[in-house]
Amino acid sequence: MNYEQKISKAKAKLLVNKPFLGTLASKLKLMKNDDIQAFSSDGTKFEYNDDFIHESSLEELEFTFANGAMHASMAYDNRQGNRSNWLWQLSCDYAINDMLVQSGMQRPYQAHYSERFTNMYVEEIYAELQADIIRDENEMPKNQDDDTQTHSNTHEQIQEQTLDEQLFKEFAASVLDTYEKKGELPKSIERFFKIEPFSKLDWREQLRDALNRFAKDDYAQMPPNKKFLSQGIYLPSSTSETFELVIAVDSSGSVDEKLLDAFLSEINSLMLSIPKYKIDLLICDDKIRVYKEFLSGEYLDVELVGGGATDFRPVFEFINKELHNTKMLLYFTDLEGIFPQEHPFYEVKWISPKVQEIPFGEIIQI
């Protein structure tokens, strides 16, 4: 294969094997530069020598692109401070490559690596390298610790590079957030980025997980088969191939209609992955205002009717009388209302913009 095909294949393999790094690498601008020995990366582009691409294996190229992606992501970090730019970049290189080696990637021999720097932060490596230089009484290379643009750059070029760097910074932050939530970040990534702990899951993910647990063709132990209840016999009821879901919407005057639209939009999106379903929709403030049934392929929409005080009890009473096969209720509300005394036999998810004490069920904060 030619070098362009080889590059494309290596990037594809990286995306499959290391999704976080592969996603970052997909945004790098690849540029041929035969004036360099192997490869280099700054905040926006990845330069390479044809001979290096030709001589490297696909696995080594994966490592190379992962290295470039990490350098690009860290190019805007303020941890460097007043440190020498060339020595800081070298320290980053050692730290990045140590992480990639620990992740099981195949390092090309040209890449900077030393077991001496295993598990060390960039700042620690910098201090070690700086001490080595002082100890050897070597001067640091001149003309390499200037972090400013050369005079040959035009104002427009500087503006374009600044914009590219800002866009990549935003992209990298988004990718980091996505793969942190999935639990798919590389080992030791916290050495390079500040990983904030998430106090709660994204509400869309919580909603998706809740629905996935129930969208199965199975026998349901609850509710029991009502045909034999009069005889004191409790048997599981047979759930059809139709996934049944009950959604209640609080139509009191305090409901946030923008959040309601977001909730309904997510439900419509999630239902696309379910072949056959039935949604029983209830609109209620202090009494049931609307009951409507939606079947597979129908778009779920809501017209709020009511606007009075909130009483949750009519919804639960209606379900007990009319919707005997209910396994889960999604109730969109601000939680300011009267709750029923008895706990229902089905699962309840309260979709709400706030968290507070509730007598039963689970809150998904939107």
> Which range among 77-81, 227-231, 306-310, 347-351 has the greatest average pLDDT?
347-351
Residue-level pLDDT at 249: 92
> Taking 90 as the threshold, does the pLDDT of residue 281 lie above it?
yes
pLDDT above 70: percentage of residues in the chain: 72
Average pLDDT estimate for 308-315: 92
The whole-number average pLDDT for the span 245-274 is 84
Tell me the CB-side half-sphere exposure of residue 229, using CA atoms within 13 A. Answer: 9
pLDDT confidence of residue 282: 94
Identify the residue with better confidence: 82 or 198. Answer: 82
Position 359 pLDDT exceeds 80: yes
Indicate whether 313 pLDDT > 90: yes
Residue 197 pLDDT > 60: no
Fold topology of 203-365: Rossmann fold (3.40.50)
Q: In what order do the strands lie in the sheet with 362-365?
A: 288-295, 277-284, 243-250, 328-332, 347-352, 362-365
* pLDDT of residue 229 exceeding 70: no
Report helix angle 58-74 to 85-102, nearest 10.
130
User: Percentage of the chain surpassing pLDDT 90?
Assistant: 18
Confidence of residue 16 (pLDDT cuts 50, 70, 90): confident
Res. 198: pLDDT tops 60: no
Q: Which has the higher per-residue pLDDT, 148 or 173?
A: 173
Q: What phi, psi does 277 have (nearest 5°)?
A: -150, 165
Arithmetic mean of pLDDT, 319-325: 91
Query: Where in the sequence of the chain do the CATH 3.40.50 domains occur?
Result: 203-365
Q: What pTM was computed for the model? A: 0.45
User: Mean pLDDT score of the chain, rounded to an integer?
Assistant: 77
Mean pLDDT of 205-217: 71
Q: What pLDDT does residue 232 have?
A: 56
Confidence bin at 220 (pLDDT 50/70/90):
very low
pLDDT exceeds 50 at position 146: no
Tens digits of per-residue pLDDT, 101-138? 988 899 988 888 899 998 888 888 888 888 888 777 54
Q: Looking at residue 344, what is its pLDDT? A: 92
3-state secondary structure string across the chain: CCHHHHHHHHHHHHHHHCHHHHHHHCCCEEEECCCCCCEEECCCEEEECHHHHHHCCHHHHHHHHHHHHHHHHHCCCHHHCCCCHHHHHHHHHHHHHHHHHHCCCCCCCCCCCCHHHCCCCHHHHHHHHHHHHHHHCCCCCCCCCCCCCCCCCCHHHHHHHHHHHHHHHHHHHHHHHHHHHHCCCCCCHHHCCCCCCCCCCCHHHHHHHHHHHHCCCCEEEEEECHHHHHHCCCCEEECCCCEEEEEEEECCCCCCHHHHHHHHHHHHHHHCCCCCEEEEEEEECCCEEEEEEEECCCCCCCCCCCCCCCECHHHHHHHHHHCCCCCEEEEECCCCCECCCCCCCCEEEEEECCCCCCCCCEEEEC
Kindly report, residue by residue over 32-88, the tens digit of the pLDDT: 888 888 877 765 677 888 888 888 899 998 998 888 888 877 765 667 777 888 888
Per-residue pLDDT at 172: 64
Asked whether residue 231 carries a pLDDT value surpassing 70, the answer given is no
| Structure confidence at residue 40 (pLDDT) | 76
CA–CA dist 77, 79 (Å, integer): 6
- Note the pLDDT of residue 175: 67
